[in-house]
Structure 1
Amino acid sequence: MRKWLLTVVTICSLAGNTGCLLPIYSVDPARRAQQLIYTSENLRAMLDEWERIWFLDQPSHLTPHSVHGGII
């Protein structure tokens, strides 16, 4: 039991330091800029996909005012 607890504590402490001990991005500035651009593009695409799934990118038909769509 003590061995399992020590293993879990070690894994949690190493997982918390992933960005410090093991760098996420490259040391080379050009490569790091490319990786950051890819990451931000992936996050933007994820947000667009989320809005598409929940139909948040569509106009709302629940307007409080009556909108006339024909020729006046």
Structure 2
Amino acid sequence: MRQWILGAIIAASLAANVGCFIPIYSGDPAVRTRQLIYTSENFRQITEEWERIWFLDQPSHLTPHRVHGGVI
């Protein structure tokens, strides 16, 4: 019984380290490249969205340069 439990624990630890059962990306190199490009583009847009939400893309009022806020 002890060997069976020990074997089950070892099998469970090995199964946890194998990886994902369902692969995220395709096995075809051309399709996988396209998927990785789309994923990296989405990650790039996340930072722009974060800056827009927190108004970090607005000009700072603490700059030494005068910024005209009105219509020219």
- Give 2:5's aligned residue: none
- Give 2:55's aligned residue: 55
| Runs of 4+, deviation exceeding 6 Å | none
Percent of counterpart pairs with the same letter?
Answer: 59
- Tell me, which stretches of 5 or more residues in structure 1 are unaligned? 1-9
- Tell me, which stretches of 5 or more residues in structure 2 are unaligned? 1-11
In the alignment, the residues of structure 2 paired with residue 50 and residue 15 of structure 1 have an alpha-carbon distance, to the nearest angstrom, of: 34
Q: Which has the larger radius of gyration?
A: 2
Number of residue equivalences: 55
Question: 3-state SS of the aligned residue for 2:47?
Answer: helix
Any residues of structure 2 matched to 1:21-60 within 5 Å, and which?
Answer: 21-60=21-60
In the alignment, the residues of structure 1 paired with residue 24 and residue 67 of structure 2 have an alpha-carbon distance, to the nearest angstrom, of: 52
In the alignment, the residues of structure 2 paired with residue 58 and residue 68 of structure 1 have an alpha-carbon distance, to the nearest angstrom, of: 14
TM-score after normalising by structure 2 = 0.58
